[in-house]
Amino acid sequence: MDIDPEDILVIATISARQVAATVVVLQSPAGQSPAGKTPGDELSEQVVAHKSVPCTWHSATGDERGQALAEAVRLAAESAGIEPYSVYLSCADASLSSRIAVGYAAPGEEIAFSVHERDWALRRAREQATGADREVLDVLPVQWTVRGPGGERDVPDPVGERGTHLTCQALLVTVKRGLRAEMAALAHGVGLELDHVIPQPLALYRGAAGRLKIKGTTLVIDCGARHTTVLVRRKDRLVHAETFAFGGDILTATMADQLGIPVAEAEKLKLQLDLACVPDPSAPQGQQMIWSDLREGDALLAPATRICADTLTNFFAARARDLREHSHLGQAGQVHLVGRGAGMGGLVGFLRDIFALPVVLGTGDKGRQPGDELDGLLTTGLVCLAADHRREQKTLQSRTLRKRASGMWSWLNQTLA
């Protein structure tokens, strides 16, 4: 591929059951080579390769993880015809959470705000204390407020707006301290530099945002094998993101433990459950036996359904309570359920009762399964976020070079004079 290496992105996604790698090329709208673009061109992204390899990540050794990552990147790179030098890594982590932080820029006089003031306010929000055991993984502007002689007003983008004071409310996405270093070590172990760590919840939101309703509060719940992520959008902005160590594997392990059966049998049993048919524990035994007979005579199905229902109720009721206490859950809105676990029988109605909001599978596309749709949404979001990050880095490099060139020119003029 005869393309500027800076316009080639390699993105690796780590999930519970596999590692996937995607190769992306930044292109101009006309399809010309990025090397021939002119200033002001808006770039688009083209996925040129996507490969995955199976890997049970949580139980794999360090060497097995490195081998899976290296193999996925190698397959994608060979398919795209490139030599990879760096990689964007994305993984789900139960330590991920978020909070709102405020930053500001106060130039002292009325000016037209530039990129400098916007970055200044955002940097102040990012640099707020997070605790000794946590680190900031990303920061997203939620609201910009400009103050001027006419008072305060909210704006979608402050650049070009006139005022004396700029305030930014930003969503700080934090994780346990050391996660970034772990990802860098993983990349270095396979001979690659780490470009950036992309939080999977942010990628999911970016991929799904254009398909979500704007009115009211929108929840996106990703039910995976090892993790469950809750995203909250209000007024077209992401205001909350949190990942929990809860998923389908927890349900399987709980059933196996309480029913005294092997994990493999519990997993098969889980696939037969329908939460719309939760048996009433106070019902006479005869009624439960009739219910079991109708369910293909599986005597374990009724108690397994009850166990899953109780486990899910405890988890999601706590999430709904926390969201209401922090004013993230209103009386109007919708819940979008995605991920492999979203297809569990009766889960839509089950969560509708808990959150008191309409629940839809995926983004509402009836032609796609929520698990399959998740892969597309996640890949789309990862590509967009990685491309944004690369463009920001290139812009910063360009600014730095211009400043150095300007400084050198001034020095030469002074010397020659």
Which domains are present in the chain?
Answer: 5-94+180-203+385-402 (3.30.420.40), 97-175 (3.30.1490.110), 212-372 (3.30.420.40)
In order of 246, 330, 347, 381, the CA distances from 242 in angstroms are: 12, 18, 20, 17
Long-range contacts of range 176-179, CB-CB < 8 Å, 24 or more positions apart?
176/93, 176/95, 176/133, 176/134, 176/135, 177/132, 177/133, 177/134, 177/135, 178/135, 179/93, 179/95, 179/135, 179/137
> Regarding predicted confidence, which is higher, 296 or 135?
135
Beta strand 228-234 with 237-244 is antiparallel
Q: What is the pLDDT of residues 329-383, one digit of tens each?
A: 888 889 999 998 888 889 999 999 999 999 998 877 666 666 678 888 999 999 9
Q: Residue 32: its pLDDT value, please?
A: 44
Q: Residue 299: its pLDDT value, please?
A: 81
Q: Residue 48: its pLDDT value, please?
A: 95
pLDDT tier for residue 210 given thresholds of 50, 70 and 90: confident
pLDDT tier for residue 399 given thresholds of 50, 70 and 90: low
Q: Are 191 and 145 in contact (CB under 8 A)?
A: no
Q: Residue 396: its pLDDT value, please?
A: 79
Q: Residue 34: its pLDDT value, please?
A: 43
**Is 90 exceeded by the pLDDT of residue 33?**
no
Q: What is the pTM of this model?
A: 0.85
The strand pairing partners of 76, in sequence order, are none
Q: Residue 157: its pLDDT value, please?
A: 94
Non-local CB neighbours of 114 within 8 Å, separated by 6+ positions: 159
The strand pairing partners of 338, in sequence order, are 222
The strand pairing partners of 217, in sequence order, are 234, 333
Q: Residue 36: its pLDDT value, please?
A: 43
Non-local CB neighbours of 68 within 8 Å, separated by 6+ positions: 19, 53, 54, 55, 57, 60
Beta strand 228-234 with 217-223 is antiparallel
Three-state secondary structure call for residue 92: coil
Q: Residue 101: its pLDDT value, please?
A: 94
